[in-house]
Amino acid sequence: MNDRLRELLPTAPQGANDVLFRAAAEALLGRGKRVRPVMTMLACEHVGGRAIDALDLGCAVEMIHSASLVLDDLPCMDNATLRRGAPTIHISHGEDAAILVAIALLNQAYAAVLDARTIRPEVKLAALRNLTKAVGFDGLSQGQIRDLRDTPDRRDENGLRQLNHQKTSALFINALESGGAVGGATADQIRSLASFGEAIGFAFQLRDDLMDAVVSSEETGKDERQDAGKITFLDLWGEERLRAAIDESLERAREAIGPDSSLSRYAERLMRNAHLER
Amino acid sequence: MNDRLRELLPTAPQGANDVLFRAAAEALLGRGKRVRPVMTMLACEHVGGRAIDALDLGCAVEMIHSASLVLDDLPCMDNATLRRGAPTIHISHGEDAAILVAIALLNQAYAAVLDARTIRPEVKLAALRNLTKAVGFDGLSQGQIRDLRDTPDRRDENGLRQLNHQKTSALFINALESGGAVGGATADQIRSLASFGEAIGFAFQLRDDLMDAVVSSEETGKDERQDAGKITFLDLWGEERLRAAIDESLERAREAIGPDSSLSRYAERLMRNAHLER
């Protein structure tokens, strides 16, 4: 996976200012679970396609995810200094480079889909349209501004569900649907993959809220208590109900896709975490 | 043009945080010459197509241009307070919203191309691939980081030509080539349009350098002396040679496309400016 991510990044031309190229490699190739590309490929396989055919699409989704993390970390946003166990991009390379590399990575994601030889033209167009939805005014961008700006009264259960959808599940669903489309999924299969994505995205975000509160920076690779001051489901529900909701969501995900699917097994492994065991 | 730009922007859902939607309207619909969409449409017409068929593509190019201006103006970049006669987006709405609206506008540009009913699928794919080149590691993003970071010794004639290409001409060429493709251009016509774009982009940037030095903020709608401290062609060449180079580039542009083309006539009008007359 990392090899292909590296290949899909351009290299700096001789003599050019190479800060964006270095920053891109750092943002994209650092430690990371590669959850989204793995799901993209498993979705393709789940419907009978070859996982490898969805590799570049998965890499595109990872580029978008990495770009969003670079922006989330900026001083005018979460003001984070540590990500995936390394200094954040604006700390290493400056704010200007961080912002511009996010733009360049997002573009490179679209370029990777456009160049993918394993994806048919009509599937490319549909996958790209889905990606724009996951990123723009109804996706990551809107989710992030809400996360930064929404007043506490908007962070009720409904508000937080919407926020989690925009910040996490939308891209998960997108990765799964488009991965499925590459594999030739039927409309029914696409719907199942979307339900799985919604459920697993929600569980993933809840788990992240919990991790932020109980696990040390050394283990998460991020600044501790990044959510401090922001209302999350942990505040609304408390730890017991949150843990129960994670289990329920995981169960819903399994039901959507079938417990024997490799996607279900992957989801279970993903949710398991030594630091959250009791 | 403004009507269509407005239609292509999403409206905020009821009750949602609407700052990105307001910022997008401000960034996109403010005063502006709409040079890129006009050229996109004229290119389509130039090769025998209907100008209106390239309207949405032209709007997409304008969205990308607007997004790039929002970012250029940020405190960590040019730190500008005034643009198109109005406060810059980070001044009106905050840095976080400015960065996120740039991302959202860039995405919306891709969405506009993907949704355009007047563009055939294979032309969409080619136009999108061109756009990613104009924006990413070899286009606007790289041009902007170089403009901010390159040391004075890199701002020699070669360096500045590359920089102008990445910051201005690449998107011009892209708009013209893709507009031509929508109109069914031959490979020869695409090459002529690209030559025209390279020449007119260079002239346009030179003119901008001159404007920055001699015209007041009231007339340009931007902060005065935004280039102060940066070496431009005005420093390298002086005013006389710069004016001669603008004329030469305009002549090259006319030759590329034919002096009777409406593109040539538009280019002439564009370069004329009362404040630069002597």
Q: What is the pLDDT of residues B118-144, one digit of tens each?
A: 999 999 999 999 999 999 999 999 999
pLDDT score at B80: 95
Percent above pLDDT 70 for chain A: 95
Nearest-Cα distance to chain A for B207, in Å, is: 26
Q: Is the predicted pLDDT of residue A189 greater than 90, yes or no?
A: yes
pLDDT tens readout for residues A41-92? 999 999 999 999 999 999 999 999 999 999 999 999 999 999 988 999 999 9
pLDDT score at B228: 67
Region of poorest pLDDT, from A87-101, A227-241, B66-80: A227-241
Please state, rounded to an integer, the average pLDDT across all residues of chain A: 93
DSSP letter for A225, please. Answer: T
Q: With cut-offs at 50, 70 and 90, classify the pLDDT of residue B274.
A: low
Domain coverage including residue A242: 2-276
pTM comes to 0.95
What CA–CA distance (Å, rounded) separates B199 from B131? 19
Tell me if A242 sits within 8 A of A233, measured CB to CB.
Answer: yes
Q: Is the predicted pLDDT of residue A228 greater than 70, yes or no?
A: no
Q: Cβ of B91 under 8 Å from any chain A Cβ?
A: no
Q: Which residues of B touch A108 (CB under 8 A)?
A: 132, 136-137
Percent above pLDDT 90 for chain A: 83
Q: Which residues of A touch B94 (CB under 8 A)?
A: 76
pLDDT score at A30: 87
Consecutive H or E run containing A83: strand A82-83
Q: Is the predicted pLDDT of residue A166 greater than 70, yes or no?
A: yes
* B 30-59 near A (Cβ less than 8 A): none
pLDDT score at B211: 87
- For B142, nearest residue in chain A (alpha carbons): A20
If one counts the domains in chain A, the total is 1
Please state, rounded to an integer, the average pLDDT across all residues of chain B: 93
Partner residue opposite B19 with nearest CB, options A74, A110, A149:
A149
Q: Cβ of A25 under 8 Å from any chain B Cβ?
A: no
Partner residue opposite B149 with nearest CB, options A17, A107, A144:
A17
CATH number for the domain harbouring residue B50: 1.10.600.10
pLDDT tens readout for residues A126-148? 999 999 999 999 999 999 999 99
Nearest-Cα distance to chain B for A255, in Å, is: 31
Region of poorest pLDDT, from A70-84, A224-238, B50-64: A224-238
pLDDT tens readout for residues B218-240? 677 777 666 667 899 999 999 99
Map tokens 């097994």 to a residue.
A265
Side chain identity, residue B102: A
Pick the residue of A145, A148, A158 with the most B CBs within 10 A to test the interface with B by mutation.
A145
What CA–CA distance (Å, rounded) separates A193 from B268? 55
Percent above pLDDT 70 for chain B: 95
pLDDT score at A274: 61
Q: With cut-offs at 50, 70 and 90, classify the pLDDT of residue A125.
A: very high
What CA–CA distance (Å, rounded) separates A173 from A133? 11
Dihedral, A115, A121, A124, A125 alpha carbons, nearest 10: 120
pLDDT score at B275: 65
pLDDT tens readout for residues B7-30? 999 999 887 889 999 999 999 998
Partner residue opposite A145 with nearest CB, options B17, B121, B137:
B17
Map tokens 């070859």 to a residue.
A50
